[in-house]
Chains A and B, each alone.
Chain A
C-alpha cells in the first residue's frame, strides 16, 4: 500500500532520527581513535525481514553490506529478547574481519517475533591474525584474524562472558576492543528503545507500514532516476595493480543494462579470485553498487533497501567481485571496493557524460603500524587510511587530499598520534602536481611521512601504484601513488604497493597517494 506524501516525509524523519542517535552514542562512547576520531562506523535500523529501513550517513562501504550481516544473524541464530549477535565473517554477511557488526532484535511487549532490528558496524583497529591491525598481506582468511560467524555475545540481557573472552583472547589490544564493543552495544540499546518509543506513540501497524512504505518510496525514486538515463548497455573495464602475491594486473569488467526504470549490473568477465588479499566478497560489491546508485540519484533518497530493488546484481561466484571461502579479503573492503566504483562510473560516464567525474585516487592507502612500545610499555597498533585526489567532474576541478567514494574517515590528529604511539609525523602535505591535467584538473594526492621511534612492523595495502586514475573526455590521468622506506641516513627505497616490512627505530615510511583524473582536454 502506497503511503501518502505527508506520512512518508514524517516517518522518514522519525526513523532517520533513530539511526542518527545511535551514531551519536557510538561515536561518543567508543574507545579507540579509529572510532572516536576517524568515525569508522555505521548505525542502522532494519525491519522484521532484516531489510534496511534507515541508516545514519556514515561510511558508504557499510551501506549495502550491513543488511547481509543482519540477515546472516537472523538465519543462523534464533535471537531472543536481550540477545545480541556479533558477526564479522566475510562469508557469512561480513565485509572484512576488522568490521564487527552487532545485531539486536527489537521485541514488542507480548510478541514472540522481533518487530525490527538495530545494528551497527565498527572497524576495530585489531582483530588478531598475522599482523597488528589485521590488514595483512594474507593469502587465506585464516591469517587475517579472528573469524566469527554470527554468535551471541549477549544472552538474555547479560554478556556471554565465554564468547567475549574467546574474542578478546584473539585480539592484540583487548582493553580497547572491549571498550569499543561496549560502545556498539550501548548504541544498540538506544536504537531499540527509540524504536519502541516510536511504536508506543504511533502504534505498531503505523510504524510497520511506514517501514515498508519508505522502502517503496526509495524504490520509486531510484526507478525515476534510472528512467532519466538513455536505455542501453554500458560497459567498461578497469584493473587492480596486483594482489601482492605476484598476480599482476587484475581485470574488473562490468556491463550495465539500463531500461524501463531498471538496471542490471553484470560483472561477468571479471578476473577469477586471487591468492592475495584483494578479493571482494559479495557484500562489498553490493555496497559499491549501492553507493554509486545513491550518488546518481539527484533526490535525497533515503538510505534503505528499496533503493536496490530496481537493480539486479550479477557477480559470478569465485570471481574477484564475489570470492569464495577461504579467500583472503582484507583489502577487498578498502581497495577493491574503490575499483568497483571506478569501473561502474567509467561505464556510466558513457550513459550520463554530463554528470560523471573522472577517476578519484582509487585507493585508501591503508597503513598499519604495530609493535611493542618501549616507552609506554605496551603493545600498540595504529591504522590509518590516507586520502588522495578527487576526480574532476564537468565544471569542477577535483578536490585535493580528500577521501572519496567508499570511505570518509577522518585522519588521526598528529598531536593525538604522537602522544599515544611511538611515532612522529615528519611530513603531511599535498602532493603538488599529482592531479591529472585537463580543462578541469584532478585533485592532488597527499604525502604522509612517519618516523618510527621503536622497532615496528609496517603493513601497506595500497593501490593505483601501477595503473593511474583515469581522466575523462580527454583529461589527463592522475599520478600513480608511491611508497617509500627511508633509512636513518636518509636513503629512500621504493616499496611495492602491498608489502609488510620491519622498520628499525629511526626509520621512516613515506606514502604518496594518487591524484585524481582530469576532465576534458586542456585548452
Chain B
C-alpha cells in the first residue's frame, strides 16, 4: 500500500522559513507523521518497515516535508519494546554484591499464576555465568563497610573482557543511600568502552530487585536502541531529535541512548498524551481512553494530566520508571467466543488474530466479537476499511450459530450475548483504572478509538454511567500527535527516608536533583527560564510500606493526610509521617497545536439503512458517512457511522453531534 498524503498537502502557503516541527510514531503496522510548518498542518501515514524501522520514518519525513527542514522532531517508537519481547537484546553482564548474584533470577520469589501445576517465569535476561559479585558492601544508612580493592577491579575487568559482554549493568545494595561503590565501579569499567547502566543514576530508590531489573533491562535494550537512534539522527540531519518516554514527556536523543528503559512504553504513552493535547479542542478535561483493537484493549485515565504509575512489567520484567498508567486486557475484535464446560460464554483471551481472522474475513471459522458485531448489524459488510475488504456475513452467522445452539438463541440474540460479555470485560478494565484508584467513572468522558472502540463505546458508557462519549477525528494519528506536542521533560527521584521532615529540609535535599535536571534540559536546548520544576514526595505513615505521592509545598503534610483519607478512607494526623522518596518532574511546557478545523458539512443524508441490534431487539437504523458529518450535524441514535478505519454504533440513548474539528460527541439524552 502506498503512503497517502492527507488533504493539507495542497496548501503551498507556508513560507519556506517557517518553524517546522514533527511528531512521528512507529508501530508494528503503520508509521504516522504529523508536522506543523508555520501555521500549516500536514499528516502522513505509511506502512512500517519492521526489518529496519528507520527506513519508513526517513521516507515518510522526506515526503511529508519536501524542501522544508525540521527544527525539531519528536519520535515515539516500539523498537526497545520489541527488543525485549523478541529477546534480541545485548549480551549483558551484571555486577553486584557478592552473595547476591542470583537476585535477578529469584525476583520476589512469587509466581504470576497461582493455580498452574507447572509454574514458569521468564528466563532471566542475564545468564548465571555473566553475573559477577564483588565486595564493598554499603549499609542501609549509607556507611560503606568495605571498599573495593584495585586488584578486585582489575580481576573484574579481565573477566568482563574475557566473556565479551556488550553492555554492563551495575547494581549494588543500598546505592541510593550512598553511590560511592557504584561510582567507583563505573569509573573502573569505563576503560572497557561498553554501555554502562548504573543503578543509582537510573533509579536511586530502595527495593533492590526492582532497581536491578530496571538497570538490567536498560542495559539489555541499550545497544540496539543506540544504533537505531543514531541512524535516525544522522538521517534527520540538523534537526533536533527528541524521543518520547513512557511517562509522556520527551527527552533528548543523548538521554534516550543512556536511559532507553524510559522509552519502552512510549508508543501507548504518546497516544494518551495526544488525546490529552487534543482534549481541550474537544471540550473535555477528564476522560478515559478506550482503545479497542483486534487482540487487546488499552484503557487509561486522564484527569487534567495523564496518570502515572511507578512500576510496569514489559515482557514480564519489572521496570520501575514512571509510565502512563495504561491498563491492557486481552480482548478485542478478534477475540474468540466459546461456551466452556460449565456453560458460560467466554470471550478471549484466545484470538483469531489477523490470520485466519474473524470468520467474516473469509478464512476462519471460530466466532469472534467482530462476527457478532456484523451479525448484530453494527458493522456494514460493504463498507469495511472503506469497502476495500469484503466481509462475509453468511460466514459470521454460521460461526455464531455454533454458539447459538448452546445458548439456545439465534442470530442477533447470540450476537447480543457476545457483545455483552466483551463489554463486561471492558467495564472491569475501566474499573481497575478508576474505582480502584479512587475515581468515579461517571465524572469522565469516554474517548473511544481503535478499530473496535467506537462500536462498543456507547453501550459501555451506559454500563459505566458515563454520559459523554467522544470519537476523535483522525484517531490513527493520536500517537504522532502526542509526540508532536509532548513537553520536554526529565524525571529524577531519590530515596531519603526522613521522618517528619520540614519542607525546607526536603527542598534542600532536592537541590542536586534540580541542578541535574536543569543541566540536562539546557543541554537539550531548553532555556533555563522556561523550565518548570515540580517537586513531589512519596509519603507514608511511619511503619507503613506503601507510599502516596504528594506535591511538596507548604501544605504537604495536610495534603498527605487528606489524600490518605480519600484513597483509603481514613487518616491519622497525629501519627509520624515518613518521606521515603523525593520526585522531581522538570519540564518545558509545549504550546498546544490546534488541530485542523473542519469545513462546513453537506446536509447529513444517510447512506442507507441496516437492520441493527438496538438494545435486545433489532430494527432498521440509518448509516452515515463520517466524512459527511460537519459542525452543524445533530443526529439522534440509534445510528451507525462508517469511516475508513472504524465503524461507530450510537445507542438510542445518545445524541450525536460533530464539533468544529470533526470530533464526534455522543451525549446522553
Contact = CB atoms under 8 A, between A and B. Distances in A.
B110 A12 contact: no
Interface in B521-573: 541, 543-546, 567-570
A373 interface: no
B119 A404 contact: yes
A24 B433 CA distance: 12
Interface in A149-184: 175-176, 179, 182-183
A24 to B, nearest CB: 5
B139 A418 contact: yes
Contacts of A393: 117-118
Contact of A401 (B109, B139, B207, B420): B109
Most buried by B among A13, A20, A219: A13
B101 A413 contact: no
A75 interface: no
A512 to B, nearest CB: 13
B271 to A, nearest CB: 25
A183 to B, nearest CB: 8
A36 B436 contact: no
A294 interface: yes
A16 B114 CA distance: 16
Interface size class of A (residues with CB under 8 A): 35 or more
A4 B344 CA distance: 7
A410 B140 contact: no
Given A30-B544, A418-B174, A429-B100, 4 more contacts: A30-B546, A224-B342, A403-B109, A428-B100
A400 B105 contact: yes
Contact of A295 (B103, B115, B541): B115
B66 interface: no
B633 interface: no
Given A17-B428, A28-B567, A413 B208 contact: yes
B597 interface: no
17 contacts: A4-B417, A5-B339, A6-B345, A6-B420, A8-B342, A13-B427, A14-B424, A20-B436, A183-B568, A217-B343, A220-B342, A221-B340, A399-B111, A401-B105, A415-B176, A415-B207, A427-B100
A409 interface: yes
A357 B425 contact: no
Contact of A29 (B108, B111, B568): B568
Contacts of B173: 414-415
A390 interface: yes
Given A21-B431, A414-B173, A186 B570 contact: yes
Contacts of A5: 339, 343-345, 406-407, 417
B361 interface: no
B273 to A, nearest CB: 26
A25 interface: yes
A426 B105 contact: no
Contacts of B435: 21, 194
Contact of A410 (B108, B119, B570): B108
B115 A294 contact: yes
Contact of B407 (A4, A182, A414, A419): A4
A31 B99 CA distance: 30
A2 B238 CA distance: 69
B111 A12 contact: no
A404 B544 contact: no
A441 to B, nearest CB: 13
A237 interface: no
A299 B340 contact: yes
A426 B145 CA distance: 13
A8 B569 contact: no
B206 interface: yes
A356 interface: yes
A402 to B, nearest CB: 6
Given A217-B343, A401-B105, A410-B109, A429 B120 contact: no
B346 interface: yes
A446 B101 CA distance: 12
A403 B208 contact: no
Interface in A285-317: 291, 294-296, 299, 301
Interface string A419-435: 10000101111100000
B519 interface: no
A143 interface: no
Contact of B541 (A31, A60, A402, A411): A31
B2 interface: no
4 tightest CB-CB pairs across the interface, nearest first? A36-B545, A393-B118, A221-B342, A5-B345
Contacts of A190: 569
Interface in B414-451: 416-417, 420-421, 424-425, 427-428, 431-432, 435-436
Most buried by B among A194, A392, A408, A415: A415
Contacts of B103: 428-429
Nearest to B543: A31
Contacts, number: 203
Contacts of B497: 419
Contacts of A13: 424-425, 427-428
B569 A176 contact: no
Most buried by B among A2, A8, A301: A8
B347 interface: yes
Given A4-B407, A403-B110, A218 B342 contact: yes
A182 B344 contact: no
Contacts of B417: 4-6
A374 B205 CA distance: 27
A236 interface: no
A217 B342 CA distance: 5
Nearest to A358: B118
Contacts of B541: 31, 179
A8 B345 contact: yes
B121 interface: yes
A413 B546 contact: no
A189 interface: yes
Contacts of B176: 415
Contacts of A9: 344-347, 421, 424
A36 B544 contact: yes
Interface in B302-318: none
B152 to A, nearest CB: 18
A347 B497 CA distance: 52
Most buried by A among B119, B345, B428: B119
A105 interface: no
A170 to B, nearest CB: 19
B341 interface: yes
Nearest to A430: B102
B318 to A, nearest CB: 12
B209 interface: yes
B311 to A, nearest CB: 13
A427 B108 contact: no
A416 interface: yes
Contacts of B121: 399, 402
A33 B543 CA distance: 8
A76 interface: no
A499 to B, nearest CB: 23
B9 interface: no
B603 interface: no
B20 to A, nearest CB: 46
Interface in B78-104: 99-103
Contacts of B99: 426-429, 449
A196 to B, nearest CB: 14
A479 B585 CA distance: 51
A10 interface: yes
B1 interface: no
A221 B343 CA distance: 8
B477 to A, nearest CB: 33
Nearest to A432: B128
Contacts of A225: 341
A27 interface: yes
Contact of B106 (A21, A291, A428): A428
